[in-house]
Amino acid sequence: MRIEGENETNMTETSVKEPLVLFMPSGKRGRFPVGTPVLEAARKLGVYVESVCGGRATCGRCQIEVQEGNFAKHKIVSSLDHISEKGPKEERYEKIRGLPEGRRLSCSALILGDLVVDVPQDTVINAQVVRKAASDRVIERNAAVQLCYVEVDEPDMHKPLGDLDRLKVMLEKDWGWKDLLIAPHLIPQVQSILRKGNWGVTAAIHRDMDSSRPFIVALYPGLKNEAYGIACDIGSTTIAMHLVSLLSGRIVASSGTSNPQIRFGEDLMSRVSYVMMNPDGREAMTKAVREAVNGLIGKVCAEGEVSRHDILDMVFVANPIMHHLFLGIDPTELGQAPFALAVSGALQYWAHELDIEVNRGARLYTLPCIAGHVGADAAGATLSEGPYRQDRMMLLVDVGTNAEIVLGNRNRVVAASSPTGPAFEGAEISSGQRAAPGAIERVRIDPATLEPRFRVIGVDKWSDEDGFAEAAASVGVTGICGSAIIEVVAEMYLSGIISEDGVVDGTMAEKSPRILANGRTFSYLLHDGEQRITVTQNDIRAIQLAKSALYAGIKLLMEKQGIDHVDTIRFAGAFGSFIDPKYAMVLGLIPDCDLNEVKAVGNAAGTGALMALLNRDHRREIERTVARIEKIETALEPNFQQLFVNAMALPNKVDPFPELAKVVTLPERKVLADDGGEGGGRRRRRSRE
């Protein structure tokens, strides 16, 4: 075999005539002797083509497609005539199991001439139908688990080698595995499994352990044609999980549940306090989150019609406190300076050591944490979005109770966290609530009349459309969720109801009855119904404090990078998926940027976990990346307070927003006397600079 790109002068006449094979989508190519199986060529080039049966044409996992035509760019003319016809083994498989049109088994198909070979990323043999497409990203597969079928020699009195040892001999002979270790719980079962399978067994090999030696983690009689993995993101509010085929890469089922630790405290610091004040607090929260994970595994397995004992590998991400509590580590040190992690690197466990109810040989991997308040979830999002893989300056923000911020490009990446508090999740807001049916999620205010219109979760119509009242009767209008809180404050600013300093203008009461007096302050009446929903001066202050903490953290990272603008912004997390970038920028939640370059990327942390599950190379990639990310502690930065004060203004006291001004007419700058934070007093104006 000769890999393309080697010195042409070193080629022999024979090698020049050897067929050239190009594998897509990887783009790897090389020359191979006529008669080489396509599967062997793929393995020699490092192209991941799944095979369980060891070339016996029984598992059907190694399917490929040959592309026909003149590929001028690659200087290859590929034809079906350049691959062998189906042999007896392949014909037998097609007759019994069936082969999609155009598909071949690469273990049986031989190279006869130049080929362009497509390795389908959607190959599913005996796998369940995908119930939910959690991600449309194509992830090149190189899972830590490989299934290997072997036929073991029967015992021989003249060759007194143990059954396990003969199994290892065949795994080395057929698959090349050397120095295999075996999970201790399997040793007593080896003989019965071999005899049940009539000496044909499938070994699950895990090759991403702390030791450099691979492990046999599961053993099945006969041919086992599927194995599964779990990718899980443990958030402070919710736990999200994907059940994935390790062989095909398909997401079989996805689900989520509330984190039961909420009963110990709404936010992370209150949970740390609970641990500090209650002797059994850590154990109680660890038990609660593990039970929730086990329940969720049962749920996705039921949905995907999969046995939980077929789960052989797991990848978890979480913020630092959730990470520690899940692993049974006391998080107390994370509640006080210097916010020391018990462990920051990636970790590996036997899943049963953490009371996770899956196959006893299943392994569990956690991504590394970046810093004391920038966790493995931020590492997962960084792996998913890859600021370190590009030239442009990317800002990655996960907005939550504690916002995690990553900023950088291939030259340098910096990270920090900012204590935004729970305001964006509805807490600390007079009419705030979590996103649920009945919650207002979108708001628009007419700048002339100050009349609002809004949309409610669970209702397709806007509040000013015919039929809204009837449609909303079943869910009601119960409060304001996070996305609407951002929009209503931004709209109040754009319509002149509040000044750039966030003070409700009491003189606007002359213009609209929706401006209500509350003692020395004023409120805005958003909805007057069974549930009266207002936006108070204190609500606006809570949002200002939260957004200022986030923006100041971002500005600190920009200063560290020596830049005055970012090229692209990514909102991660469930909340980020529902934020309108325009209103986030009007509010001053994020710095000025071309709005076309501001995108929500959903649960990027979960996608990162999925990538690490399906390709062990991604584990090494994020471990190397986290090691070189620079961690900035905002509390120690002398400039943080001034940046925070500047960010209290809408959108900002000093920073320009030229890109935002292209799409939004910002109001004339208006500053109102604050009366010590109570607002609504005398007015003084100055033109916008």
Widest CA span in the chain:
104
What confidence tier does 678 reach under pLDDT thresholds 50, 70, 90? very low
Of the listed ranges 102-116, 196-210, 659-673, the one predicted with least confidence: 659-673
SS3 for 177-209, per residue? CCCCEECHHHHHHHHHHHHHCCCEEEEEEECCC
Higher-confidence position of 335 and 175 = 175
Q: What is d(CA 373, CA 269) in angstroms, rounded to the nearest whole number?
A: 11
How confident is the model at residue 127, as a pLDDT?
38
Q: What is the mean pLDDT of residues 414-427?
A: 81
Decide if 616 contacts 142 (C-beta within 8 A): yes
At residue 347, the pLDDT reads: 96
Which amino acid is residue 437, in one-letter code?
A: P
Residue 423 in this model has a pLDDT that exceeds 90 = no
3-state DSSP helix/strand/coil % of the chain, to nearest 5: 35, 25, 40
**Cα(330)–Cα(627) distance, integer angstroms:** 24
**Residue bearing the bigger pLDDT, 518 or 266:** 518
What's the rounded mean pLDDT across residues 143-155? 94
User: Cβ distance 651 to 689 under 8 Å?
Assistant: no
Q: How confident is the model at residue 125 (pLDDT cuts 50, 70, 90)?
A: very low
**Nearest of 73, 80, 231, 195 to residue 612 by alpha carbon:** 231
Q: Where in the chain is the domain with CATH 3.10.20.880?
A: 145-221
- Residues comprising the chain, all counted: 689
pLDDT for 13? 43
Q: Which whole number is the average pLDDT over 43-59?
A: 85
The answer to whether 521 and 504 have CB atoms below 8 angstroms apart is yes
pLDDT at residue 94 tops 50: yes
Q: What is the pLDDT of residues 635-656, one digit of tens each?
A: 788 999 999 999 999 999 999 9
Question: 145-221 has which fold?
Answer: Ubiquitin-like (UB roll) (3.10.20)
User: How far is residue 91 CA from its own chain's centroid?
Assistant: 41
Distances (CA, A) of 623 to 50, 233, 305, 366, 378: 26, 18, 34, 11, 13
d(CA 408, CA 557): 9
Tens digits of residue pLDDT in 481-497: 888 999 999 999 999 99
- Give the integer Cα–Cα distance in Å for 438 and 531: 11
Q: How confident is the model at residue 189 (pLDDT cuts 50, 70, 90)?
A: very high
3-state secondary structure 88-156: HHHHHHHHHCCCCCCEEECCCCEECCCEEEECCCCCCCCCCCCCCCCCCCCCCCECCEEEEEEECCCCE
Indicate if the pLDDT at residue 446 is higher than 80. yes
Positions of CATH 3.30.420.480 in the chain: 228-366
pLDDT of 267 strictly over 80:
no
| pLDDT-based confidence at residue 211 (cuts at 50, 70, 90) | low
Cβ 113 vs Cβ 101: under 8 Å? no
Opening angle at CA 510, ends 507 and 514, nearest 5? 95
Task: Please give the torsion angle defined by the CA atoms of residues 561, 566, 572 and 575, in that order, rounded to the nearest 10 degrees.
Answer: 120
In this prediction, residue 433 carries a pLDDT of 86
CA gap 211, 217 in Å, rounded: 14
pLDDT at residue 123 tops 70: no
Q: What is the pLDDT of residue 636?
A: 83
Instruction: Tell me the average pLDDT across 131-146.
Output: 72
> How far is it, in rounded angstroms, from Cα 440 to Cα 455?
6
DSSP bridge partners of 218 = 204
Position 641 scores a pLDDT of: 94
% of the chain beyond a pLDDT of 70: 91
Instruction: Report yes or no: 461 and 524 within 8 Å, Cβ to Cβ.
Output: no
pLDDT over threshold 80, residue 382: yes
Q: Calculate the average pLDDT of the chain.
A: 89
Q: Which option is the CATH number for 20-123: 3.30.420.10, 3.40.1190.20, 2.40.50.140, 3.10.20.30?
A: 3.10.20.30
Rounded to 10°, the helix 281-304/268-277 angle is 130
Residue 8 has pLDDT above 50, yes or no: no
pLDDT of residue 136: 64
Q: Where residue 584 falls among pLDDT bands split at 50, 70, 90?
A: very high
Residue 684 has pLDDT above 70, yes or no: no
With bands split at pLDDT 50, 70 and 90, how would you rate the model's confidence at 389? very high
Q: Give the pLDDT band of residue 293 (cuts 50, 70, 90).
A: very high
Contact criterion met (CB below 8 Å) for 108 and 37: yes
CATH architecture of 228-366: 2-Layer Sandwich (3.30)
